[in-house]
Each structure stands twice: as C-alpha cells, then as structure tokens.
Amino acid sequence: MSGKKARALGFNHVALEVGDIEEALAFYGELFDFTLRGKGESMAFIDLGDQFLALSKGRRQAPDDDRHFGLVVDDKEAVRQRLEELGIKTLEGPFLDFLDPWGNRIEIVGYTNIQFTKAPNVLHGMGLDGLKKSEKAIEELTAKGMAPAETV
C-alpha cells in the first residue's frame, strides 16, 4: 500500500434534488440568467462555465437546516433584490441564504469578494471579461501564491 492520496481540486458540479424539473427550471430562471446545458425527463443541467448545477427529480428528505452550498454570482445585490421582488424569504443570519421550493438551502456568494476564481478564458467564454476581485480577495489569493495574473 503506497499511502499516496489524491488531491481534491474543486467541484465539477453540485446535484440538487427537486420535485419537478420544469418547475425547478422555471424557479431558477426567475432568479438567474443561465444557459441550459442539457435536459432529460428526470435531470437538467445548468451551465456555470466550466462547472454545472444538476437538477435531479425526486427530493424526499426534509428541508435543509445548516447543509447548503454557496452559489457564486457576478452580482449578489441583484439576487437579493430579485428574491425580494419574488417574495422569496431569506433566512436569518449574516449571509444571503434562502430555501428553494424543495428545501435546498442556497447561499449566494459574490465572486468579487472570495478566493474562488474562474480562469480568464472561462470568464471570457461566459461574457464576464471585466469581472475583478476585491483587494481583500487578491491579498488572500496572493498569500497562497494564487493571485490573478492581472494583479502581479
């Protein structure tokens, strides 16, 4: 036995269980501008550049409490405003969290202020060439030797 371990690099996708694929696409389409990567009878795939969000028909568990995932967006305040316009209640706490109609807890995270970084070619392909990081995020990335090329 070698003891060698693989290194976790990131996420290819997150899969959410929903009650109905068409209803889920309509719900998320009211909140976000997205491209549908593909769809079948029991699955749909929302493109996130080089990643994707999978929607799977058949949620059976209770609504999420602390379990959640952070969905990175280009404009967090636009999501906050849209949630309010649609009458979707945000959850108590310091973050912008909400439950979808099937009980999936989603935290909305702004791209600018976090370490998560899309490669320039991926941002370009997504039509987001001008999306930049805050000074704090650049400092955190620099400390890890991961500063975006435009800052070094």
SS3 of 80-133:
HHHHHHCCCCECCCCCEEEECCCCCEEEEEEHHHCCCCCCHHHHHHCCCCCCCC
Q: What is the CATH number of the domain that holds 54?
A: 3.10.180.10
Q: Does 8 reside within a domain?
A: no
| Tens of pLDDT, residues 31-87 | 999 999 999 999 999 999 999 999 999 998 999 999 999 999 999 999 999 999 999
Neighbours of 9 (CB within 10 A): 6
- Tell me the per-residue pLDDT of 71-122, one tens digit each, with 9 for 90 and over: 999 999 999 999 999 999 999 999 999 999 999 999 999 999 999 889 889 9
pLDDT tier at 8 (50, 70, 90 boundaries)? confident
Q: What is the pLDDT of residues 12-26, one digit of tens each?
A: 999 999 999 999 999
The pLDDT score that the predictor gives to residue 152 is: 46
Mean pLDDT of the chain: 93
Find the angle CA(113)-CA(105)-CA(12) to the nearest 5 degrees. 65
pLDDT at 136: 93
Does residue 2 form part of some domain? no
Indicate the number of domains in the chain: 1
Say if 7 falls within a structural domain: no
Is the confidence at residue 149, as pLDDT, over 80? no
Residue at 109: amino acid letter: V
Task: Band the pLDDT of 148: cuts 50, 70, 90.
Answer: confident
Pairing of strands 69-73, 96-99: unpaired
Is residue 3 a part of any domain in this protein? no
Specify if 42 maps to a domain.
yes
User: For strand 43-47 and strand 35-39, is the pairing parallel, antiparallel, or unpaired?
Assistant: antiparallel
pTM: 0.89
150 falls in which pLDDT band (50, 70, 90)? Answer: low
What would the two tokens of residue 91 be?
């959850």
The answer to whether position 53 is within a domain reads: yes
In this structure, the number of other CB atoms found within 10 A of the CB of residue 140 comes to 16
The domain of 126 spans 13-146
SS3 61: coil
Instruction: Using CB atoms within 10 Å of the CB of residue 64, give its burial: 0 to 12 exposed, 13 to 18 middle, 19+ buried.
Output: middle
Domain assignment of residue 98, yes or no: yes
Angle subtended by helix axes 21-31 and 76-85, to nearest 10: 120
The answer as to whether 152 is a domain residue is no
> Are the beta carbons of 99 and 12 closer than 8 angstroms?
no
